[in-house]
Amino acid sequence: MAEQPTRVQLPLGDPAETSALAHGPVPVGPSDVRPAFDDEHPPSAALIGDCVHCGFCLPTCPTYTLWGEEMDSPRGRIDLMKAGLQGAPLSDSMVQHFDACLGCMACVTACPSGVQYDKLIEATRIQVERHHDRSPGDKAMRTAIFALFPYKRRLRALRGPLRAYQVSGLPKLVRRSGLLDRLAPKLAAMEGLAPVLEKREKLPERVPAVGERRAVVGMLTGCVQGEFFPGVNAATARVLAADGCDVIIPRKQGCCGALSVHNGRQEEAERFARATIDAFEAAGVDTVVVNAAGCGSSMKEYAELLADDPAYAERAKSFAASVRDVSELLADLGSVAPRHPLEVTIAYHDACHLAHAQGVRAQPRSLLTEIPGLQLKEIAEGEICCGSAGIWNVLNPEPARELGDRKARNIAATGADVLVTANPGCLMQVASSLERQGTRIGLAHTIEVLDASIRGLSVSTLGPQH
């Protein structure tokens, strides 16, 4: 009988043992066992060495908060990366810990040593997708997700059947029966997250500035944002124009690649990034404005994504430097359009890829508190992710529900009239949890609140009640 390769046994729960594993030799068994990583941009040993295992990341990590397991914390996963660099095989258990990471980057904010965990986990996920053979069910689910969500026309084609399903009364019956949860929990998660569809608003290719022109900007319309939350894009264009921007909306733009890059699908992400750069370069704009946190985060990293592409490396660097979240741009420009009072109490939820990945926290709060009559409330445990994390809530429905329900309880405790955030995934995730616990509260994107104030609309216009 052939000799079986020795599996690396990875310790759970004891930081001292984990650290010893990371800093000592790792037995990998016979020489024919393939190491976890190849030589094409594996996670950086230098960046791994920056982690001093202090533990400041632990209270901010969603999975460590849920399970209390060392290998489901940032420093635990960093130790697994180091083990992989030392020759450990890419076992199913190792991949499970990497997959469990939401990529929320709260640990990056919390880390006093400046560990670039974001770069480490993205490099690791590329290696996982390149070398790990997923189960047929997992592979099929991921294939279906990436055949749909990055493609606007396919999402648009889904709108009709989804709308018909929503108005039929079937959703209440399906959820009350619990049958879908038992038979297909991932499909049930997708069904529960689907927002009530708004009327699609077709935007022109150019929205002229109101009054004196202060800037010319390109606007990303996004995939899920554009098809499931078209009102956010319309509000973005109106607010930018009201504050003196000519807004250019390229017709040929597609997916920015955020979902792909966050899930290790490198070639796909690079293809989307090149097409996005081409579309906005052709539009001739110096600034690209984004209203979805996950998209903005990825677009600001195009230089790293396309660093090995001689035709795009410099263009990607220039493009990445031009990307701004809409709240960043508006805060820098300063408001000129009058803000009408909104007598409303708002709870502001930091989208992870805006606050942690982009470091944009003060700007949306500053813009909101400029509005007369508006009161801003902070949410307890604000650094903990709501459980959306791109497609994580679909692939991991049960822990995502736990995180969503935890966030919903903290939101309800504020007593706010409206929850405001800056990412479509957060809006869908939190809406589902709020509905599940019976909390009635309005939901809105930051830009929709500004739009309502500028236009003098009533508070009742701020998103559906849940």
Query: Which residue's structure tokens are 């529900």?
Result: 401
Instruction: Give burial (CB, 10 Å; 0-12/13-18/19+) of 278.
Output: middle
pTM: 0.89
Q: List Cβ neighbours of 227 (8 Å cut-off, separation of 6 or more).
A: 152, 155, 156, 158, 159, 200
Dihedral angle over CA of 142, 197, 185, 65, nearest 10? 80
Q: How far is CA 367 from the centre of its chain?
A: 22
User: How far is CA 165 from each of CA 195, 198, 320, 424, rounded to the nearest angstrom?
Assistant: 12, 14, 40, 21
Domain ranges of the chain: 31-131, 136-193, 206-331, 338-461
The whole-number pLDDT of residue 8 equals 36
Beta strands in 41-147 (DSSP E): none
Domains 206-331 and 338-461 alike in fold = yes
The whole-number pLDDT of residue 138 equals 93
The whole-number pLDDT of residue 32 equals 61
Rounded average pLDDT per 10-residue block, the chain, 466 residues: 35 38 44 84 97 96 97 98 96 96 97 97 97 94 93 90 84 78 78 79 94 96 92 97 98 95 97 98 96 97 97 98 98 97 97 97 98 97 95 94 97 96 94 91 96 90 60
Which numeric CATH code is attached to 338-461?
Answer: 3.40.50.1860
Decide: 298 and 257 in contact? Cβ < 8 Å.
yes
User: Which fold does the domain 31-131 belong to in CATH?
Assistant: Fumarate Reductase Iron-sulfur Protein; Chain B, domain 2 (1.10.1060)
User: Which fold does the domain 206-331 belong to in CATH?
Assistant: Rossmann fold (3.40.50)
The whole-number pLDDT of residue 189 equals 80
Tokens of 458: 């009533």
CB environment 132-168: b (16+ within 10 A), e (fewer): bebeeeeeebbeebbeebbebeebeebeeebeeeeee
The whole-number pLDDT of residue 414 equals 97
Residue type, 246: D
CA atoms of 95 and 121, how far apart (whole Å)? 11
